[in-house]
Amino acid sequence: MSNVEKIRYGNVLNGIENFDGIPHDLTSPADGRYVGTVYYANKSTADEAVDYAEEAFNKVWSKTGLSERQKLLMKLADRIQERSDAYSELETLNTGKTIRQSMLMDIPLGIDHIRYFASTKEFQPSRKIAHPEFPDTEGVVEYLPVGVVGSIAPWNVPFLMAVWKIAPAILAGNTVVLKPSHYTPLTALELAKDAIHSGFPPGVINVVTGSGSEVGDAIVKNPKIRFVSFTGSSPTGSKLMASASPTIKKFTLELGGKSPNIVFEDADLDHAAKGVLFGIYLNSGQLCESGSRLILQSSIRDRFMIKLKELMQRMRAGNPTEMETDISAITNASQQEKIIRMVDMGIGQGAKVFYRNEISGKVPEHGIYYPPTLLTGIGHDMEIANEEIFGPVLTVMEFSTESEAIEIANRTNYGLAAGVWTDDITKARRVASSILSGTVWINEYHLLSAAAPRGGFKNSGIGRELGLEGVLEMTETRHTFISQGKNDLDDVAYGLLFPD
């Protein structure tokens, strides 16, 4: 690597790219090539970023109106659109996802989501209310920015995560300190630099890389951070809430999932088969809401499994940087090791490999991969039936009745997402309303709208991101009670203490 020209990516603090910190070379999980050098920050740098964000909020951003904030978001979207090919290439090199996914889904979807927050009329900073008990008064409810938002993002969809952490916070009037994953920080850093280019005042958007144990911990514990948005594992989310408890701050946690995909016998099986595989093998299963549990009606088991196998056989292995490749890499070696361990344990407990797309010899030698795998013979007490694998592994369980399908779907500590496949929309809506999950797709999967709130039930988290609900999470509510002067009720109320 000594002969490779170093491409440096500094932290973005107060509108300046800062190269202080410990340099780390990033290599691509797609093929092992050098991607760039990032400079991991420490607690001191993270605290400095928070100070800059607080200063920017107090001196500039809190005085910037909603329309001006939206204009800047639209300029940012336009700027990223101009550079979308560069973002796509960088996202694929850094994460190992296919270039088709980056170019056709992740980057354009992120741009669309910025545009949504730049143009939505749903969020208004205040509203008037009536006080039915006091007819001669009125009230104003205001949705005020919390101040500095601290965001911690995972490694699986770094550009989309950066957009989801930053755009709603900006719309609500907050400043942001974002810590992307130390594995995949590059497009988040590019976004922060493009925000400067688009006219955002210094300190409004800050991105600091580094370890969760140091930089993430500093963000969570800093008393100037009034709101924390975290996406990651359920155990880590629990630890973060505990460590932040002395400073009493608001949280949203989007955590793990073990999402069911229920296929009824009256579904369009060709459409459902593609949707089920899309639900698990997109991004090699490295998505929080991946449909990792296929719950299949017994009457169509054989037909449907054959369709799945035939489709899986068509998935092409190769270098994800090439447009012909369908299978993404695993983003880091530790995740690959976890997938191997969990699948091997499941097989040891009696699970069967129904089909595995053998990718050996077809993927780059120095990349990180796991073959798309379809497992049957799943027992309810197996770890692979209950815990998130976060990889390209689909487990299959069967049901006979609608109530049994719902019971299996809810037999988990998680509740992030679910899918229901049937031509009977009345039944689909009935089943969807019975599943304990923050998102339920009917005859689709993985389709994400910026207007729709995202979040989970049970161990999948608290609070919501995106949509109006996600913006309101990042606000404080103030009620102002307005009276024009003395009214008839005053004599009654004040008479409790000062009788005539």
Give catalytic residues, as residue numbers: 254, 288
Dist CA 253 CA 281 (whole Å): 24
- Are 384 and 378 in contact by the 8 Å Cβ rule? The answer is yes
Dist CA 40 CA 175 (whole Å): 22
The 10 Å Cβ neighbour count of residue 482 is 10
- Are 430 and 319 in contact by the 8 Å Cβ rule? The answer is no
Tokens of 217: 């911990």
Dist CA 165 CA 163 (whole Å): 5
Dist CA 7 CA 217 (whole Å): 28
What strand order describes the sheet that includes 461-462?
16-18, 11-13, 205-207, 175-179, 148-152, 225-231, 250-254, 461-462
Q: Find all residues with CB under 8 Å of 494, minimum gap 6, and list them.
A: none
Q: Which of 34, 33, 23 is nearest to 210 (CA)?
A: 23
- Beta-bridged to residue 144, according to DSSP, are 476
Report helix, strand and coil shares of the chain as percent, to nearest 5.
40, 20, 35
The 10 Å Cβ neighbour count of residue 404 is 15
Dist CA 360 CA 467 (whole Å): 42
Tokens of 416: 């992030």
What is the signed CA dihedral for 287, 293, 299, 300, rounded to 10 degrees? 30
- Beta-bridged to residue 142, according to DSSP, are 126, 478
DSSP 146-208: -SEEEEE--SSSHHHHHHHHHHHHHHHT-EEEEE--SSS-HHHHHHHHHHHHTTPPTTSEEE-
DSSP count for the chain of H helices, then E strands: 17, 23
Token pair 């929309």 in the structure block, residue? 425
Dist CA 437 CA 450 (whole Å): 18
The strand pair at 417-421 and 439-442 is best described as parallel
Dist CA 41 CA 28 (whole Å): 21
Dist CA 213 CA 227 (whole Å): 19
